[in-house]
Amino acid sequence: MDINDFKGRSVFVAGGSSGINLGIARAFAACGANVAIASRSPERVAGAVAELRGLAAAGARIEGYSADVRDAEAIAAALAQAHEAIGDFDVLVSGAAGNFVAPALGMSAKGFRTVIDIDLNGTFHVLRGAHQFLRKPGASVISISASQAYNPTRYQAHVCAAKAGVDMLTRVLAMEWGPEGIRVNSIVPGPIGDTEGMRRLAPTPEATQKFVASVPLGRMGTTAEIADMALFLSSRHAQFVTGAVIPVDGGSSLGGGRDLSAALTA
Ligand code: NAP
Ligand code: COA
């Protein structure tokens, strides 16, 4: 299989209706795959499905489901319907996430729990729920992490804790599922331009400039560059890669945790 040939393969992207995750769905659709996405908003799902159908190979199936990853039963139902439509998943991406910038003392218990529930528990629900539908051997499972997983960052207690947990899930499930021929990895995007995540972390031109200045390669990344790593991880060129947490960030996480004070909301 060529790195860009996913014809006839099946891909499920949780959180696939916008931003980085939609970029990943786009790349697989453009490489010939059948693609299913799920997120909360039916309108966003419908918009993304329409766009993806415009990119898809003739005969490829593109499907979308409205489900909240915090609800294990709802996501299980979406996974089952997607499996019915596109068959065993060759690629599973878990990328749904939530974020806001606030000090720990500015977060209620519910605020902290909300991000843990979406990012960490949601990833468990997606991976645990999808296991029965993964191609064995051969499936590539990818969770979308963030550098907060290893760079302690002020005003990101919830995200730091949640994404560190996501990367531990990656490592543990790589060990548990490796014998079945399932590989499990995390991609750690750096600052990616024109995304909701960056709008939250850098809400002003000055804050954006500060982010750019902190990237050794001197620019923000693109959603297509994150998608390229997802294609690589799911290709024959990465068949011995599992349990890896891979930054795709222009070197931005080398400098440690960021100063997000300009984005404080509480
Ligand atoms: P985004 O556009 O807001 O993407 C989040 C996606 O997840 C949306 O499709 C959203 O759709 C869905 N979602 C949110 N909560 C959900 C829930 N409870 N259940 C199901 N789906 C849910 O954000 P993004 O900036 O592209 O971020 C995507 C991923 O990259 C995240 O995992 C984020 O942590 C990671 N990341 C981003 C950056 C960056 O620079 N942007 C950097 C590092 C890591 P609905 O609203 O329809 O649910
Ligand atoms: N500061 C402190 N607490 C905040 C907050 C902020 N800026 N924004 C939300 N919260 C708290 C709320 O106050 C609430 O707690 P409370 O009821 O005790 O006050 C809790 O978080 C849940 O908020 P709610 O709006 O009810 O949650 P939701 O489930 O509708 O939305 C979010 C979840 C808050 C993460 C929302 O921003 C979201 O849906 N984000 C998805 C998109 C995104 O974040 N993309 C970037 C990915 S990196």
| Residue 264 counted as domain residue | no
Q: Which amino acid residue places its CA nearest to atom 26 of ligand 1? A: 19
91 in any annotated domain: yes
User: Could you tell me if the CB of 114 is within 6 A of ligand 2?
Assistant: yes
Mean pLDDT of the chain: 97
Task: Give the separation between CA 19 and CA 30, rounded to whole angstroms.
Answer: 16
Residue nearest to atom 32 of ligand 2 (CA): 98
Residue 239 belongs to a domain: yes
Q: What is the pLDDT of residues 140-171, one digit of tens each?
A: 999 999 999 999 999 999 999 999 999 999 99
> Which pLDDT score is estimated for 99?
98
Ligand 1 atom closest to Cα of 22? 9
In a domain, 262, yes or no: no
What's the pLDDT score for residue 2? 64
Residue 257: pLDDT band (50, 70, 90) is confident
Q: Residue 4 — pLDDT band, cuts 50, 70, 90?
A: confident
Domain that holds residue 51: 10-251
Pick left, alpha or beta for residue 44 (phi over 0 → left; psi -120 to 50 → alpha; otherwise beta): alpha
Residue 5 domain-assigned (yes or no):
no
Task: Note whether residue 2 is domain-resident.
Answer: no
pLDDT band at 266 (very low <50, low <70, confident <90, very high): low
- Ligand 2 proximity of 200 Cβ (cutoff 6 Å): yes
The CATH number that applies at residue 100 is 3.40.50.720
> Is residue 29 one of the residues assigned to a domain?
yes
Tally of domains within the chain: 1
pLDDT at 247 over 90: yes
Mutate to test the pocket of ligand 2, among 21, 39, 94, 110 (most ligand atoms within 8 A of CB): 110
Burial zone of 198 (CB within 10 Å; 0-12 exposed, 13-18 middle, 19+ buried): buried
Closest CA to 127 of 85, 157, 171: 171
Ligand 2 pocket residue status of 254, Cβ below 6 Å? no
Task: Summarize pLDDT for 19-46 with one digit per residue, the tens.
Answer: 999 999 999 999 999 999 999 999 999 9
51 within some domain: yes
